């Protein structure tokens, strides 16, 4: 199982970090050791600086495939949820300035928190459905799939041209605006529409 992540896929988030719009999807990977589940203590490394939350829609691959055309992408997804891509922001910026890969800032243990999975029916069915993150009972992020720069079918097609998708792979699809730092004792709660799918406390 691999965790495939997309960067810079919401315009307002790009603006808040002072980045530029990508000419094509930005893709990076996390190892399976990055995965953590809702309800479990969130243990993040202390030695890599300030860590930010990034709430995202996550899709689970339900069958193997490669070179998938966008119009057939729905056939390869069987579940979806929300997740958090934790990012060591200062370290990421340092690595970017040096022209180095982001893995140390993005792929550390526990950096991919995943919520309860829901059955997938179609992309259209969830296109306008809000998802949100609360930090200590205060809403800090909200987004909708329709706000993405690159659609999920296009992302699946793009990814599958480089990486064979296998059953169980997870695709994190980018974060909306509102990212920020977490500290010890913070409590996170993620919702899709009115469904609580993700909880966690920073230890």
CB distance 190 to 196 below 8 Å = yes
pLDDT value, residue 18:
85
Tokens linked to 29:
């990977």
**Mean of the pLDDT values across residues 169-175?**
98
Name the least confident of 20-24, 87-91, 129-133: 20-24
Confidence of residue 17 (pLDDT cuts 50, 70, 90): confident
Residue 51, domain extent: 3-201
Helices (H) and strands (E) in the chain, counts: 5, 15
Confidence of residue 112 (pLDDT cuts 50, 70, 90): very high
Nearest-5° angle of CA 175, CA 139, CA 156? 20
For 41, counting Cβ atoms within 10 Å of its Cβ (0-12 exposed, 13-18 middle, 19+ buried), the class is exposed
Closest CA to 186 of 124, 130, 134: 134
Average pLDDT of the chain is 96
Distance (Å, whole) CA 177 – CA 127: 18
Distance (Å, whole) CA 106 – CA 79: 24
Looking at residue 40, the DSSP 8-state letter turns out to be S
pLDDT digits (tens, 9 = 90+) for 37-77: 999 999 999 899 999 999 999 999 999 999 999 999 999 99
Cβ neighbors of 159 (< 8 A, separation 6 or more) are: 4, 25, 27, 165, 171
- Give 19 or 34, the one with higher predicted confidence: 34
pLDDT value, residue 91:
96
Predicted TM-score of the model (pTM):
0.97
Q: Which residues of 168-185 are buried (b: 16+ CB within 10 A; e: fewer)?
A: ebbbbbbbbbbbeebeee
Question: What's the structural domain count of the chain?
Answer: 1
CATH code where residue 141 lies: 3.90.850.10
pLDDT value, residue 69:
98
């Amino acid at each position: 199982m691999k965790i495939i992540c997309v960067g810079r896929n919401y315009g307002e988030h790009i603006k808040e970090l002072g980045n530029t719009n990508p000419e094509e999807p930005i893709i990076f990977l996390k190892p399976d050791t990055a995965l953590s589940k809702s309800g479990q203590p969130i243990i993040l490394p202390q030695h890599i600086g300030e860590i930010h939350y990034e709430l995202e829609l996550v899709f689970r691959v339900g069958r193997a495939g490669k070179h998938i055309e966008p119009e057939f992408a729905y056939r390869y997804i069987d579940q979806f949820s929300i997740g958090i891509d934790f990012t060591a922001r200062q370290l990421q910026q340092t690595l970017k300035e040096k022209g180095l890969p982001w893995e140390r800032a993005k792929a550390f243990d526990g950096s991919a928190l995943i919520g309860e999975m829901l059955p997938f029916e179609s992309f259209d069915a969830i296109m306008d459905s809000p998802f949100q993150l609360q930090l200590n009972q205060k809403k800090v992020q909200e987004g909708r799939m329709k706000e993405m720069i690159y659609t999920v079918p296009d992302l699946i097609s793009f990814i599958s041209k480089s990486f064979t998708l296998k059953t169980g792979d997870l695709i994190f699809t980018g974060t909306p605006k509102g990212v920020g730092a977490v500290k010890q004792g913070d409590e996170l709660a993620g919702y899709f529409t009115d469904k609580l799918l993700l909880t966690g406390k920073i230890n």
